[in-house]
Structure 1
Amino acid sequence: MIFMRADHERLTGILVEAARREVMPRFRKLAAGEIREKATPGDLVTEADEAAERFIGAELARAFPGAVLVGEEATTRDPTLLDRLGEAELAFVIDPIDGTLNYAADLPLFAVMAAAIVKGETVAAVIHDPVLDDSALALRGEGAWLQGDAGTRDLRVGRAPSPDSISGMVGWAYFPEPLRSTIPARFAKFGQVSSLRCCGQEYRLAARGNCDFLLYGALNPWDHAPGVLLYNEAGGHARMLDGSDYRPRLASTGLLCAPESESWRNIISIVTI
C-alpha cells in the first residue's frame, strides 16, 4: 500500500479533532476517580486517554477499513496486538495522550500521536500539541514540517556542538541494569541533560533543532514510531544502540537520536563505554 499525502492529512485531522473533543475539554478538570494507575507504579491512565483512543480508533476504522489499530490503552488490555504490526498491510500505532503524568498533573506539556505503518515500516507520523494546536508532521521521503494556524514551516535538526556543550533528553530510568546505573554517571560529560516526561514533545524539540540528542531505553511503538520518522525526515540520525535501524516492532532496548552519524558515534561512546 502507498500511504498518500491525502491519507496523511486525514490522519492528522483525526488527531486534531480528538484533541479538541476529548483531550482539552478534560484538561485540568479530571476528578480523582478519573485518574488511575496501571500495573506499573507511576504509569497512569485517565478518562481522557481512553476517550481519545476510542475516538481515534473509531475514526481510523471508518477512514481506513481493515487497518490494524494498535493503541496504547488497547495494548495494555491485549498485548498480542503488537504481534500484528510486522506484517499488516496498513497499521496505526496510537498514543492518545503522550505525557499522561504531565496531563494528570495539570502541566500543559503533552501530545496526541500516531504513526502509519506499512509492512512493518513507518511511513507517516503526526505529533500534535493540543495546547498550541499545531502538529509536527512527517511523510517518508517527503520531509518533516510544522503545521498550524501560523502556517507551515520545514523542520530541520540542528548542527551538533562539541560533546561538552551538547544538550539532550534522556529516559535513563527505562534502561535495564547495568545501563540504568551507568548512563546517569556520564551526564556530567554533556552540557545539559533533562527530560520532559513526554517523548512526543522531546521529538518535536529535537526535530526543530532545539535539542541536540535523544536517548531512550523503553521503546513502545506508540512512543517512538512517530518521533523516529519525524526526526529522520528532519535530517537526523536515529539508530538503535547497536547501530541498526529502528523498526516499530523491535523488542530491543535502547535508541539514540543525534544530528548526524559522527555525533551519534561520539555520544554512544560516552554513554555505553
Structure 2
Amino acid sequence: MRSSSPSPAPPVDLAKARRVAVEAAEAAGDLLRAGMARPLEIRPKGTAGDVVTELDLAAEALILRRLRAVYPGHRVIAEESGVNEGTGTAAGADAGLVWLVDPLDGTNNVAIGMPVYAVGLALCAGPVPVLGVVHDPVTRRTWSAVRGEGARGPDGAPLRLAAAARAGRADNPVLAWTQGHEVGRGDPVVLPLRTAVEARCGRLLQLWAPLVAWVMLARGDIDGIVGYRPELVDLPAGALLAKEAGAEFRALDGGPYEPSIDLPPAERGFVAARPALLERLLETTAQACRPAAAGTGSTGGTEGTGGSAGAGGSGGAAQGGRVRLTR
C-alpha cells in the first residue's frame, strides 16, 4: 500500500535523487564486497558491545563524496560521522532536505564472518522519508521506493507485498525483531515484549541487519517486523520500502505510526506487517507493553541512544534522541 497521507513536495527531482542514491549504494556495495576478502580491523564502538571496521568508514566516505558532488546543500546524517551540514549557497534553500546513510548495516555480522549486511540511504523532506534505497552487496541487488509512487525491485518492476501469507504461515508467521543497541538488560519492556512476540509466531529472526529484514518484508519472505526503540539511521529507508510495497504500520500500543526522523527513541517502536496479520500482532504487543507502561509512564522503557541489537545493526555517531531539523 502506498503512503495514504499527502506526499510532501520536496524541492528536488526524486527520480534523479533515486539514481544518485542507487549508484552510491551500489558503489559502496562493491567496496564492501571486495573488502570482505581481506582481514578486517575490528574496533569497539561505544560501551554497549558495538563494533566498527575500516569498511564502514570507507563506504561512508564514498557515499558522502557522491552525495556532496550532486547535493552540496543537503544535510547528511551518517552512521559513523554523524551530522554533516550542507555547504555553499544551496544550504539555505535545501535546509529541509536530509539524507540518512547507513554504509554497512550489519557490521557485527561481518565481524564474525557472516555475510548478512546491506547499504541503506534515505532522503527526508523535513522529518518524513520520501526516498529509500537498500542494496545487498552479497547478491548485488537493489530495492528502492519513492513516497506515494510505490516500491521497485532489482529489475525496476513494481514490488508489491502479496495480501495472503505463504503456504503454512497464516497461523505461524515468520517475523523479525529489531531493537536499539543501547537497550539494557534491565529494560522493563524489551524482554516481555520479545518473549510474547516469539510465542505467537513460527519463527522470530534476529538478523542484526534490519535493512535486510525490511527487504524480506517487502518481498514477502517474512510476514512482519517488530521494533523496540529502533535505530534512527536505517529506519527510514527500510520502512519506506516496506510501506510502499504494502506493509502497514502501527505503534506498539496500537496507535498510529508514521516513520519519521524527528521521533525520539521512546516513540520509534512499531509493528509492521502484511495487513491481514497486523491486528493479531498488535494484540500481542499492546498487551505485553501495558504492564511495563503502567510502571514507567511509556512503552519506551528506559532511555537509550539507539544502535541496533537483535535484528538491529550498529549504533554510531548518528544515533541518539530527537534529530534537530533546524540549523
- TM-score tier after normalising by the smaller chain length: 0.7 to 0.9
Deviation at 1:28, TM superposition (A): 4.0
Matched, 1:214 2:225: yes
Taking a change above 3 Å as real, the CA distance of residues 205 and 158 of structure 1, as seen in their structure-2 partners, is same
Structure 2 counterpart SS, 1:123 = strand
| Aligned match of 1:11 | 21
**Residue in 2 that maps onto 1:196:** 207
Q: TM-score, normalised by structure 2?
A: 0.73
2:194 maps to 1:184? yes
Q: SS at the partner of 1:73?
A: coil
Query: Which region of structure 1 is more displaced relative to structure 2, 11-20 or 156-165?
Result: 156-165
Deviations 1:157-187 (A, max 9, x none): 2335577411100125766732212123312
Between the aligned partners of 1:248 and 1:239, the Cα distance in structure 2 is: 16
- Judge conservation of contact 1:28–1:106 (CA < 8 Å) in 2: no
Matching residue of 2:162 = 158
Higher helix share: 1
1:73 aligns with 2:77: no
**Aligned with residue 225 of structure 1, among 222, 236, 240:** 236
Cα 1:107/1:173, change in 2 over 3 Å: same
Distance 1:263 1:43 in 2: 33
| Matched-pair contact (CA < 8 Å) for 2:76–2:101 | yes
Could you tell me how far 1:3 is from its partner in structure 2? 3.6
CA contact (8 A) 1:3 1:123 kept: no
Change (3 A) 1:268 1:40: farther
**Contact preservation (8 Å) 2:180, 2:230:** no
Indicate yes or no: 2:266 matched with 1:244: no
CA contact (8 A) 1:158 1:210 kept: no
CA RMSD of aligned residues (A): 2.3
| Alpha-carbon separation, structure 2, partners of 1:173 and 1:59 | 29
Match of 1:257 among 265, 269, 272: 272
2-side partners of 1:14 and 1:248: how far apart?
21
Q: Deviations over 1:29-85 (max 9, x none)?
A: 134xx111111332111000001111111110111121001001012xx6x98xxxx
Q: Is the 8 A contact 1:53 1:73 kept in 2?
A: yes
Contact 2:180 / 2:231 at 8 angstroms: preserved in 1?
no
> SS at the partner of 1:197?
coil
The answer for unaligned runs of 5 or more in structure 1 is 82-86
Q: Which amino acid aligns with 2:285?
A: V
Counterpart of 1:270? 284
Structure 2 counterparts to residues 83-102 of structure 1, below 5 A: 88-102=95-109
Letter in structure 2 aligned against 1:200: L
C-alpha deviation, 1:116, in angstroms: 0.6
Does 1:121 pair with 2:128? Answer: yes
State the match for 1:38 in structure 2: 45
Q: Once the two structures are aligned, what percentage of the paired residues are identical? A: 27
- TM-score normalised by L of structure 1: 0.87
Q: Is the 1:70–1:94 Cα contact (8 Å) retained in structure 2?
A: yes
The DSSP-based 3-state class of the residue aligned with 1:245 is coil
Q: Distance in 2 between matches of 1:73 and 1:189?
A: 36
Return 5+ residue gaps in structure 2 as ranges: 1-10, 86-93, 288-327
CA distance in 2, matches of 1:61, 1:254: 32
Counterpart in 1 of 2:34? 25
Structure 1: distance between partners of 2:231 and 2:194: 22
Give the total of aligned pairs. 259
Asked whether the equivalents of residues 104 and 117 of structure 2 are also in contact (C-alpha less than 8 Å), the reply is yes
CA contact (8 A) 1:172 1:184 kept: no
C-alpha displacement of 1:109: 1.0
Is the alpha carbon distance of 1:181 and 1:143 closer, same or farther for their aligned partners in structure 2, counting shifts above 3 Å? same
Deviation by residue 1:89-124 (Cα, 9 ceiling, x = unmatched): 211000000011111222111001110111221111
